[in-house]
Homo-oligomer: A and B are copies of this chain.
Amino acid sequence: MSKSNPCQGNCPIARVTALLGDGWSLMIIREAFLGSGKFNEFERRLGIARNILTNRLRKLVGAGLLKRRESETDRRVVEYRLTAAGRALFPVLIALSQWSEQHLGDCSHSVRYVERATGEEIRPIRVVSADGRELDAGELVMLPGPDADPALRARLNAALDQAGSEAARAAS
């Protein structure tokens, strides 16, 4: 992405896109959730070139999503395992997967996410209000947080002004 991107600053979506939006990192994270740990497992199961895999694993370790450790079965072998931050991507992966199955391509139902203890499929991931009601995008506003930099603050305030003037136009 462009280094001159005016809203890259501290927008959380920009940060996560820079880290995970490279076409492979999310697949590597998916593999880690499925139990892959060794370099050769990632390589074989994803069909990824070794130099790209090396690069992406280094990036994911550097960002604190994966950690390197000795294999339990062979101490000469290094494994990559999800850290707490990596495991916290779980709702993101499920939300992406559910959206993909519902809206991309042929609406095929290729993966079922099932609770181990009950055998029941989980609910769709939703945005929920402080008191537990489901919200849609129109019911939400994005406001600058305490750490928003000037560029992000300006962007979010401009969006609020635009929404306000559109609402005024619709009401007039």
Contacts and interface: CB of A to CB of B under 8 A. Distances in A.
B88 A99 contact: yes
A120 B5 CA distance: 30
A28 to B, nearest CB: 10
A122 interface: yes
Tell me how many chains of this kind the complex includes.
2
Given A17-B27, A96-B92, A123-B128, A111 B4 contact: no
A76 interface: no
Interface string A57-101: 000000111000000000000000000010111111111111111
B13 A1 contact: no
Interface in A93-125: 93-106, 108-118, 120-123, 125
Contacts of A131: 120
Contacts of A111: 11-12, 142-145, 148, 152, 156
A126 B129 CA distance: 12
- Rank and list the top 10 A-B pairs by shortest CB-CB distance, nearest first: A108-B147, A12-B100, A109-B145, A85-B103, A16-B100, A120-B130, A34-B159, A5-B47, A12-B97, A90-B137
